[in-house]
Structure 1
Amino acid sequence: MMNPGGEMLILLPALLCLLPGASWAATLGGLGDNILGPHKFQDVGNFSTFLLDRSSGVLFLGARDAILSVDTNNLNQVPRKIVWDVPEEKRRSCVAKGKTEVDCNNYIRLLEFLGDGRIYVCGTYAFDPQCAFLEITSFTLEKVEDGGVKMETGKGKCPFEPSQHYTAVMAGGTLYTAATSNFLGTLFDISRATGTEQERIRTERSINWLSDPEFVSSAFIEESAENNPIGDDDKIYFFFTEVAKEYDLYTKVKVPRVARVCKSDVGGMKTLQRRWTTFLKAQLVCEDRPTGQRYNILTDVFTTQHTPGDPSSTQFYGLFTSQWEHEELSAVCVFSLAEISKVMDGPFKELKKTCDWINPEPVPTPRPGQCLNNALKAEGYESSLKLPDKVLTFVRDHPLMENSVTAAPLLVRKGVRYTKLAVTQMGGGERQKGAVLHLGTDRGELHRVAVVGQNATLLQEIPLFSSQEPVNNILLHQGLALVGSPLSLARVQAEGCALYSDCKECARARGLGCDWSTEEAACRPTTAEPGPGDVVDNALRKCDKEEGRCSPSMRELRVSLGLRLLLPCVQLSPRPCSWEHPPHRHTRQHNSDLEVTVTEDSLGDYICTCQEAGPGVRELTPCRRAAYQLTLEGPNAGGVVVTAGGRHVLAIYILFFFLGLAFGAFLLYFLTRRRSIVHQGHHLPDNSLSSEKGRDLLGSSATPQSPSSASLLSDGFRLTEKRNGTVTSNTTTTLLSNNGNGGHHGNSYSGTLISPSNGHGNSLYSNCNTSNSGLKLTSDILAADLLDGRTGERGGLDMRESGDEVDEGLGDALGDGIKGLEEEMASFPMFKLPAPLAQCEESSI
């Protein structure tokens, strides 16, 4: 059953695509004047830093050569702008050092309140980081006597390169940063970057402390007097991904880390002078134990407190991906401050000369790495300068903890890459109902996922920006989400049951305290506790008696022989899904979806079952998520079908054709070369002839050079793509699946690839843009050959360029032939390279 809004959109062919009911309603109904695009920002782009004044609602944006101020209460007001660019002479000097012209600008990477009516602003300033002071009331940068901007060095406070991973946090008026500290981007420091010269301390230059890190996030945890009976010190936490030195494998294994330093740390007297004496780090493990899948690349962290003002209730939501997965994949794990503190108070890890990691014994007293508290001060250790050398030597050589901070994923989604995360807690204290995850994608979308107990339910997918604008900032403020990309800013509602515009969306939010009112035809908050059983399933039955979350109705699909189908199955919990289908070999599972090539043997029922956990139950139970029945429509269903045998024959013909071309080209080159040599023999003297022959026979010593890359930061450049000097570019194509829910359907399909409805009001992958606003609308059914984009595979052939349709069988055969040729060439020893062996490295201390 389709939403009324969806039926109206079908009548608007100019929109070209359709969205799920909730997505288009939220986008068109609530976001018309709430998205600021490039034209509103006076041609300023590359926004990378957000700073919100929560008292006034003014948002400060750090961009390229500019700082902007936006009143989030009135987005129609023209943003205020300060230009802070680089002199032309300095720009030319930067280019002369080998940097691109676009990178030699001033990219604002730091905006932090100083607490005295000013904002501390730092920018890359053509690979020579500089900092300035912004007066909030006048919105101007402080000037010197000659009228220029008052600046101070930003080294150690701001990265040199625009796209380097970096994080900073202000703690009591003092800036703590994690950044590169040299022009080449090869030195990394976690440091106290401001304050007196004696208080500016940093990490030791050792691979045991930091090993090629990619900094992600930081948080200041202030101990309150009520919850701090031992007088413990305030702490700063840093989250990053680094190359693990505790693993001796064939490749560099990356691991996510959490590191901690103490606010009162001022370094040691002799050992660790101007270095941290409290630096400890531990591994974060986000792992799905039933499947053994581990997510080891940390991409974002959101810090929140269940009970405001109580630091012990702090939780860190981490956004992860996997180093070993070739397809797009995202997972969310949550770690509590109590678990991190327990690991930091546990045993240390040590590397001996045999490359075996063991627990060092004995641990000296007072315990290395601990923050100053009342007990230490009573023993005479009022400052880290008074700590014994044996304690400082131990913590210098043993910064890594033996135990890891482990968590199971709250959410796992394949085929989508999340870039930013924000979390809204629903309820508080003992009445905690769950959480809503606000997830930004690399395609300009905002996804909302409800997490209640062990189950995660996809609520909404809202297209905000163009598919080329990744979400790089999400701030939550007074029930709103301020979502940013390198070129745009959007303001959307983030809280309340009114967000869910239809019965089925409201039912999926039942665990958050929402209930559908049939009298008002709206979703309203409720204090009534849900009854026993599956909360969402019972709520869905109010919308459609025949349709439940774990009891979907059978959908009949009328198909023709040779057709390829992609049957969607929405995976709502981080557990695997399986398919029941007729016994044949014409299926292939992509994530939780199933690709089917229609033959006589493949007709029948297809049922997808996922593992989920019920309320108050830890054991996983099977939940039927989708059901389809494939029936044959008839011989005139349409579409050109190439049988499997015909495809193989065609592939062989194409393979021989290319081999013949290659042989002919080689023969022509050989004959031309021979004729040239003979011609030279008639016109050159003997000594010259022998010299030229020798040159022809010698192999070229020139090494092919890779073409120079484009600018790292052109408009719309993805700041999250670069990994410490390396830019990765992914070109993806997405396949749309339609929405729609309800009872028995009879749909007829013809063509090459069909993605039927997921049956839950969601279009999981949308990439269709309008020309002006960049809002993406999803079609009800898309018959196309874009399977590579839907499944995460990268196809090298575009079978529908500029709307010209090409026979799919020919395309598949051509692709299979080329793939076979590549596999055959890969079998020769000359094309095989040995895997690099990562040597066990000793401590550099």
Structure 2
Amino acid sequence: MSLLNMPTTCFMAVILCLTTGSTRCQTAIPNVHGGVGAVLGVSNASVLLQDPSSETLYLGARGSILALHTSNLTWKHPSIKWEATEKERKSCMGKGKREDDCYNYICLLEVLKDGRIYVCGSYAYDPQCGFIDPVTFTLVKEEGDKVGKGKCPYDPRQPHTAVTADGVLYTASPSNFWGTEFDITRATGQQVRMDRSINWLSDPEFVSSALVRESPGDDDKIYFFFTENAIEYDLYTKVRVTRVARVCKGDVGGSKTLQKRWTSFLKAQLVCRDQDRGQYYTVLTHAYPLEHRLGDPSSTHFYTLFTSQWKGERVSAVCVYSLADITKVFATGGFRDMKRNCVNSGSSESVPDPRPGQCINDDLRAQGYNSSFDMPDRVLQFAKEHPLLTSTVDAAPLLVRRGTTYTRITATNISNSDSALLHLGTDQGELHSVSIVGRTATLLQEIPLTTSVEPVNNILIHQGHVVVGSPSSLSRVPVEGCRVYSSCQVCARAAGLGCVWDVNKRACVADSPVQRESEDPLKVCGTGEGRCSPVVKELRVKKGLVVLLPCDHPHLSPLPCVWEHPQGRHTQQHHSHLEVTVSGSSLGLYSCRCSAQGDYSWGSEPCLTASYQLIMEDLSVEGRVDPGLRRSPVWVYISCVLLGVLVGALGATVFLKRLCWRAAQHTPLVDGNGRGANQGQQGRGPTCYENKLVMSDTPVGQSGESVL
């Protein structure tokens, strides 16, 4: 839940009715901030597609495809049921797969050039594809395009990604039953795929993909973001690194070398590093492209989500990479030899001309290279053996949050500037809004979306709203405009977005893009607090008590917060919060100061964020405790333990004596030969030997040595 003191607003919920032969009305869920939401009545909803031409939101789940009105998430068509047959499911389980994996999980929904919706599903470990007519919302499976291998993974748990460019589908996915082979393909139109003679990919986990338009005269490019094993490091253990790969939209393969294979495939390492703390964030979880100036592809930035490779550490970081930096690495970086696992010298003599991996542009056309089919074999052979570049694309995190795991990120532009508004989904089903102004990230809102705890797996932006999807529900929340910030304190945090609190209207309204340094937006809130002048909170504590002092700084800077505290105290810092064990020497003033990273702040000095005064509770109210009596509970515990041991020993002695007495009173039966009637049978009861009870399977009357 949010710690930002957000007021609850009126909720509006809808009931989503799905039709499967009969009408089923699903349970509505509450939503927040004037939004709408619905429980879907399906499981494993994982794919969202917004069709702008028809204002339809398509959703893929396990065995179902839904069509909703984007504006209110209400039913538009009866749902399509596309289940795996019983025969296919039994065949899947017969191959050793779990029953839950042997369903048809929809993994791909994309609009093709002819306007139809291309849909693929895992189909009980036998991926299949089909087409949806958007007018009649019916599924059509054509024999030539039925196979889904390389478009959708066999295992529904394996990550994959897809994107369309001018109605042509590009996919990155595992491509075999065992999930050990991987491919990046142009799946429709003139098909091109990876070359397998040299392993261009090393156990990748595909995260995201994006189309970037280029200026006239250059070829558009498709970017893929993924994490894979680093083969360039000679280490005993596998090291996971993040990559960005690129192919050209017009790539048709080579004439002899790399036939129907990518000639433009290049990849480079993305580095997200906090230099001040020396910490790397190496596991990529999502990436999102944003044009900061609409219509200018060169202003594109990729907002990426990272986490730590160490299991059990809940931390999320956001790093931003400019298209200019990525393009520079692909255009000028050295090549690494994948066959000999060593770094190429990168000299002009070793790299052929034209430069391998280039997209066809006006300069290459002037040299007579009108398509990749015209490229010389020596260039293509070099590109085949050197897909990895030695240069890295580096960035420092804009924000770092510990104790929070972000799963999805999207971004919206603010006034065609370098500022942005981030929308982040968490693994707890929350939506967080963060403003980015310069290098300063400010947390604006934390919105709980669902009543159940489940991760956010999709976020789409639509007309000033975001549509947020989880495995069983959808929500539509307004996020743009100052009026979405319903309290003065939240409006003050959005000052960098040009928002101010109107005291007369009691609403957040738009004003100048950036306020003057002398203006403190918190002053108008009437709380007595300023931006760097919080009210000192008095805490009455008792000796031995452990107190956690929060320091919630709205600026999500990776720079750590610093605490000022009395000398001789016993404390431990948890992220930005401080844990204090109360003693006589720990009383006094505790102050937390945090830095706002970047060029947008009201000053470069760390800001006083929280202040607490620890005061010892007056013990006279409850009566003073004599120091000698404080030790009495220890002796009470020891006495109880000794008394328990004594009672147990007495009980065991009585029990053993009684058993031995019963054994002495027993007279064995004797037959005519003087042998016991039960001799030769195995005695399994307790037997007494010199007042000792021994559990034995040895026949009664045998030597005691074997028993003892």
Q: Where on the TM-score scale, by shorter chain, does this alignment land: which range?
A: 0.7 to 0.9
Deviation digits for residues 580-604 of structure 1, max 9, x if unmatched?
A: 1122352111111111111112111
- Show the counterpart of 1:300: 286
- Show the counterpart of 1:789: none
- Show the counterpart of 1:120: 118
Deviates more, 1:615-624 or 1:508-517: 615-624
- Show the counterpart of 1:153: 147
Matches within 5 A, 1:424-823: 424-428=412-416, 432=417, 434-527=419-512, 529-533=514-518, 538-544=520-526, 546-571=528-553, 572=555, 573-584=557-568, 586-613=570-597, 615=599, 620-635=604-619, 679=698
Matches within 5 A, 1:328-339: 328-339=314-325
CA RMSD after TM alignment = 3.4
- Show the counterpart of 2:192: 200
Aligned mate of 1:182, from 176, 184, 187:
176
Q: C-alpha separation between the residues in 1 aligned to 2:342 and 2:242?
A: 21
Query: SS where residue 156 of structure 1 aligns?
Result: coil
Aligned mate of 1:373, from 340, 361, 380:
361
Deviation digits for residues 12-41 of structure 1, max 9, x if unmatched?
A: xxxxx9975425237689749844443xx3
Cα 1:383–1:611, aligned 2, differ >3 Å: closer, same or farther? same
Deviation digits for residues 413-451 of structure 1, max 9, x if unmatched?
A: 1110000111121111xxx27211111100011111111
Q: C-alpha separation between the residues in 1 aligned to 2:224 and 2:118?
A: 20
Q: Give 1:633 deviation, angstroms.
A: 1.6
- Show the counterpart of 2:663: none
Q: Give 1:319 deviation, angstroms.
A: 0.8
Deviation digits for residues 542-601 of structure 1, max 9, x if unmatched?
A: 224741222222111111222211111124222111111122352111111111111112
- Show the counterpart of 1:92: 90
Matches within 5 A, 1:134-173: 134-142=132-140, 152-173=146-167
Q: Give 1:354 deviation, angstroms.
A: 8.3
Q: C-alpha separation between the residues in 2 aligned to 1:364 and 1:375?
A: 16
Cα 1:19–1:346, aligned 2, differ >3 Å: closer, same or farther? closer
Normalised to the residue count of structure 1, the TM-score between the two structures is 0.69
Cα 1:118–1:556, aligned 2, differ >3 Å: closer, same or farther? same
CA contact (8 A) 1:66 1:84 kept: yes
Q: C-alpha separation between the residues in 2 aligned to 1:262 and 1:168?
A: 15
Q: C-alpha separation between the residues in 1 aligned to 2:2 and 2:206?
A: 39
Q: C-alpha separation between the residues in 2 aligned to 1:560 and 1:281?
A: 59
Q: C-alpha separation between the residues in 2 aligned to 1:608 and 1:46?
A: 43
Write the letter of the residue equivalent to 2:146.
E
Query: SS where residue 550 of structure 1 aligns?
Result: coil
Q: C-alpha separation between the residues in 2 aligned to 1:241 and 1:27?
A: 40
Q: C-alpha separation between the residues in 2 aligned to 1:203 and 1:612?
A: 47
Cα 1:335–1:604, aligned 2, differ >3 Å: closer, same or farther? same
Q: C-alpha separation between the residues in 1 aligned to 2:5 and 2:326?
A: 42
1:60 aligns with 2:58: yes
1:342 aligns with 2:328: yes
CA contact (8 A) 2:8 2:33 kept: no
Query: SS where residue 312 of structure 1 aligns?
Result: helix
CA contact (8 A) 2:2 2:447 kept: no
Cα 1:507–1:578, aligned 2, differ >3 Å: closer, same or farther? same
Cα 1:18–1:589, aligned 2, differ >3 Å: closer, same or farther? closer
Q: C-alpha separation between the residues in 1 aligned to 2:358 and 2:302?
A: 21
CA contact (8 A) 2:356 2:382 kept: yes
- Show the counterpart of 1:715: none
CA contact (8 A) 1:614 1:621 kept: no
Structure (1 or 2) with the greater helix fraction: 1
Deviation digits for residues 671-708 of structure 1, max 9, x if unmatched?
A: 99x9899749999xxxxx9xxxxxxxxxxxxxxxxxxx
- Show the counterpart of 2:297: 311
Q: Give 1:327 deviation, angstroms.
A: 2.1
Write the letter of the residue equivalent to 2:157.
S
CA contact (8 A) 2:304 2:319 kept: yes
Q: C-alpha separation between the residues in 2 aligned to 1:637 and 1:487?
A: 54
Q: C-alpha separation between the residues in 1 aligned to 2:51 and 2:621?
A: 61
Q: C-alpha separation between the residues in 2 aligned to 1:352 and 1:392?
A: 15
Q: C-alpha separation between the residues in 1 aligned to 2:151 and 2:513?
A: 51
Q: C-alpha separation between the residues in 1 aligned to 2:7 and 2:181?
A: 45
Write the letter of the residue equivalent to 1:626.
A
Q: Give 1:619 deviation, angstroms.
A: 9.3
Q: Give 1:408 deviation, angstroms.
A: 1.6
Cα 1:112–1:353, aligned 2, differ >3 Å: closer, same or farther? closer
Q: C-alpha separation between the residues in 2 aligned to 1:402 and 1:35?
A: 48
Deviation digits for residues 483-533 of structure 1, max 9, x if unmatched?
A: 110000001101011111111111110110101111111111113751135
Q: Which has the larger radius of gyration?
A: 2
- Show the counterpart of 1:262: 248
CA contact (8 A) 1:34 1:75 kept: no
CA contact (8 A) 1:132 1:150 kept: no
Write the letter of the residue equivalent to 1:201.
R
Q: Give 1:275 deviation, angstroms.
A: 1.8
Q: C-alpha separation between the residues in 1 aligned to 2:362 and 2:144?
A: 42
Query: SS where residue 385 of structure 1 aligns?
Result: helix
Q: C-alpha separation between the residues in 1 aligned to 2:362 and 2:513?
A: 47
Q: Give 1:245 deviation, angstroms.
A: 1.6
Q: C-alpha separation between the residues in 1 aligned to 2:591 and 2:425?
A: 31
Gaps of at least 5 residues in structure 1 are 1-16, 661-670, 684-688, 690-845
CA contact (8 A) 1:317 1:333 kept: yes
Q: Give 1:388 deviation, angstroms.
A: 2.1
Q: C-alpha separation between the residues in 2 aligned to 1:353 and 1:176?
A: 27
Normalised to the residue count of structure 2, the TM-score between the two structures is 0.82
Cα 1:390–1:679, aligned 2, differ >3 Å: closer, same or farther? farther
- Show the counterpart of 2:27: none
CA contact (8 A) 1:498 1:522 kept: yes
Give the percent of matched residue pairs that are identical in Structure 1 and Structure 2: 52
1:394 aligns with 2:382: yes
Structure (1 or 2) with the greater strand fraction: 2
Query: SS where residue 401 of structure 1 aligns?
Result: strand
- Show the counterpart of 2:677: none
Q: Give 1:475 deviation, angstroms.
A: 0.5
CA contact (8 A) 2:587 2:614 kept: yes
Q: Which has the higher contact order (CA 8 A, sep 6+)?
A: 1
Deviates more, 1:480-489 or 1:374-383: 374-383
- Show the counterpart of 2:682: none
Deviates more, 1:397-406 or 1:578-587: 578-587
- Show the counterpart of 2:352: 364
Cα 1:298–1:86, aligned 2, differ >3 Å: closer, same or farther? same
Q: C-alpha separation between the residues in 2 aligned to 1:636 and 1:436?
A: 54
Q: C-alpha separation between the residues in 2 aligned to 1:336 and 1:528?
A: 23
Cα 1:49–1:622, aligned 2, differ >3 Å: closer, same or farther? same
Q: How many matched pairs?
A: 629
Cα 1:637–1:485, aligned 2, differ >3 Å: closer, same or farther? farther
- Show the counterpart of 2:109: 111
Q: C-alpha separation between the residues in 2 aligned to 1:244 and 1:551?
A: 49
Q: C-alpha separation between the residues in 2 aligned to 1:293 and 1:182?
A: 36
